[in-house]
Amino acid sequence: MKIKHLEVPQNIWKDKRIPKETKYIYSYIYTKGFDRIITDINIGEIQQTIKIKNKGLKKSLDILEQLKYLVYQEYATGMYTITLN
């Protein structure tokens, strides 16, 4: 049996184009979606860890999508489907 270790890719921490808060959001999404292709999250889940509003989350997700770390879709206010690349 092969054991997998949960580790956020190091290239995101070294990428200076990404704000610190966005890196934390990506690490939260990555750990929640570990070993899955599609993850569903809502703003309430992230607000328990990071102090952020829906507008700030959407801006962070836009940055990550432009840099091709993930693809997201908002299917209801504050509800997102995310595919990690």
Q: How many domains does the chain have?
A: 1
Q: Give domain status of residue 7, yes or no.
A: no
Q: Give domain status of residue 8, yes or no.
A: no
What tokens appear for 32 in the block?
């929640």
**What pLDDT was estimated at residue 82?**
93
**What pLDDT was estimated at residue 1?**
42
**What pLDDT was estimated at residue 53?**
93
Find the CATH number of the domain harbouring 59: 1.10.10.10
Between 54 and 6, the higher pLDDT residue = 54
pLDDT in tens, 33-78: 877 778 899 999 899 988 999 999 999 999 999 999 999 999 999 9
Dihedral angle, C-alpha 75, 45, 48, 13, nearest 10 °:
-90
Q: Give domain status of residue 9, yes or no.
A: no
Question: In angstroms, rounded to a whole number, what is the distance separating the alpha carbons of residues 31 and 35?
Answer: 9
Question: In angstroms, rounded to a whole number, what is the distance separating the alpha carbons of residues 78 and 85?
Answer: 21
**What pLDDT was estimated at residue 32?**
84
Q: List the domain range (segments joined by +) for residue 78.
A: 18-84
